[in-house]
Amino acid sequence: MDDIPLSVLFGTLFLLIIFSAFFSSSETAMVALNRYRLRHLAQEGKRSAIISEQLLARPDRLFGLILLGNNLVNILAASIATVIGIRLLGDLGVAIAPFILVAVFLIFAEVMPKTLAAMKPESIAFPASYLLYPMMKVAYPAVWVINWISNGLLSLFGHNFEEQDDTPLSRDELRTIVREAGTMIPKRHQRMLLNILELENVTVDDIMVPRNEVAAIDLDDPINEIIEQISHCQHTRLPVYESNIDNIIGIIHIRRMTRILSDKNELTKDTLKEILIDCYFVPKGTPLHTQMMNFQQNKRRFGIVVDEYGVIQGLVTLEDILEEIVGEFTTDMQTYNLDIQKQDNDAYLVDCSVHLREINRQLRWELPTEGPKTLNGLILERLEYIPESGTTLKINNYLIEITQVSENSVKMARVKYLKDDSESTVD
């Protein structure tokens, strides 16, 4: 190389630094690509994404090509740098050239390009794929030999490359992706997606109308009272029972009553029984996502929740499940607001029959939901007796003052969120 001008050697070294930066940035960018976005872009027909996906289908070959090219470039650059060092400084250049070359390559061919590739992987990987793909075709024999040796050595340690670990996203990982989507997904849509993912962790017990609050028709009542109840009913469907709620004989659809109610003399208990719909029973503890599928398969919108002994626990509707996804859309806002009323001192007067999940959702609180489903159940579990009005207890960082009690339950309580978090106490 003594006859080659220094300008040519420096120009060649400069080009080798660019090639090295190309291989380094390509490696980082390909690894940093979001596989799910890449698959989406490939399905939309973006050619660079299709090529990148094909290259990443066999990462051993891709990285074999990149490392082969990078090492060849680095070795050649080291040789040229040594020649330049000897030409400029003689024997001293042999000692100095490696240090200068390492500094230059570290900054301009490694750190800078890899940092840029990690920050903007698509901007680097997609254009690079147009060069890497034909290079793979040309260098395939050498890459194949390298992969055959490296994969063979890996197999000695029990690693089979053909059995790649392509683990799908877990629900927790999917939640993280949805939360970090930022402005790409509107906040309301994010909440809906997260609520859908939560359906598996919520059962019909969490959202059902409890047994003691079920609006139903008792056929033992006088016919005039039944007509009055139906006329002023706010629900579309009502259970019908005889003697007690455990003896439900069917469901009445209020719309079917329109014609009959136009002539009250025509309505009798026998007529009422003729238009009843068969009951659809739901086992207690059924996850919401399963129950939604069951409603769909059975063409139902209304179910009676029963325990293992067949005792009625409450009722659940398709509307209740949909509200878990999209939020409240009831038109009866007056009733909705009466359950939780804000007081002047940042406390809330709460109907203790309200579900804890509903309180947490409305007030963005974190009352414990493992175990009892209602505020009344939570209070009784912690106290282990029926308290008197005026009793105060502290559960985690929530101060609860009982304001109204019946013989066997707590009716109303005043709840206030405290910044202090401590163990439950009773006054």
User: Cα angle vertex 36, ends 32, 40, to 5°?
Assistant: 120
Mean pLDDT over 195-223 rounds to 86
Predicted pLDDT of residue 334: 43
Is the predicted pLDDT of residue 404 greater than 50, yes or no? yes
Instruction: Kindly state the tokens that stand for 386.
Output: 């029926």
Strand pairing report for 281-283 and 302-306: parallel
Rounded Cα–Cα distance for residues 410 and 63 (Å): 67
Residues 11, 12, 13, 19, Cα dihedral to 10° = 110
314: which strand partners?
Answer: 210, 305
Number of other residues whose CB lies within 10 A of the CB of residue 51? 18
Number of other residues whose CB lies within 10 A of the CB of residue 83? 19
Is the predicted pLDDT of residue 389 greater than 50, yes or no? yes
With bands split at pLDDT 50, 70 and 90, how would you rate the model's confidence at 97?
confident
User: Cα angle vertex 214, ends 311, 222, to 5°?
Assistant: 100
With bands split at pLDDT 50, 70 and 90, how would you rate the model's confidence at 166?
low
Predicted pLDDT of residue 337: 52
Helical axes 6-32 vs 59-89, angle rounded to 10°: 150
Is the predicted pLDDT of residue 159 greater than 80, yes or no? no
Predicted pLDDT of residue 342: 86
Looking at mean pLDDT, say which of 93-107, 116-130, 184-198, 249-263 comes out highest.
116-130
For the chain, give the percent of residues with pLDDT over 70: 90
**pLDDT-wise least confident of 156-160, 203-207, 252-256, 371-375:** 156-160
pLDDT tens sequence across 338-374? 688 888 778 899 988 888 888 888 888 888 888 888 8
Is the predicted pLDDT of residue 227 greater than 90, yes or no? no
Is the predicted pLDDT of residue 136 greater than 80, yes or no? yes
With bands split at pLDDT 50, 70 and 90, how would you rate the model's confidence at 335?
very low
Predicted pLDDT of residue 114: 92
The mean pLDDT value of the chain amounts to 84
Q: Name the pTM for this structure.
A: 0.61
Rounded Cα–Cα distance for residues 147 and 66 (Å): 12
pLDDT tens sequence across 407-418? 788 999 999 988
| Residue 150 backbone dihedrals phi, psi, to 5 degrees | -65, -40
Rounded Cα–Cα distance for residues 50 and 312 (Å): 57
Radius of gyration for the chain, computed over Cα atoms and rounded to the nearest angstrom: 36
Mean pLDDT over 73-90 rounds to 86
Rounded Cα–Cα distance for residues 123 and 221 (Å): 75
pLDDT tens sequence across 245-271? 888 999 988 877 766 666 555 677 788
Instruction: Kindly state the tokens that stand for 270.
Output: 């026998």
For the chain, give the percent of residues with pLDDT over 90: 26
Domains of the chain: 6-156 (no CATH), 171-201 (no CATH), 204-318 (3.10.580.10), 333-426 (3.30.465.10)
With bands split at pLDDT 50, 70 and 90, how would you rate the model's confidence at 164?
low
Mean pLDDT over 371-393 rounds to 89
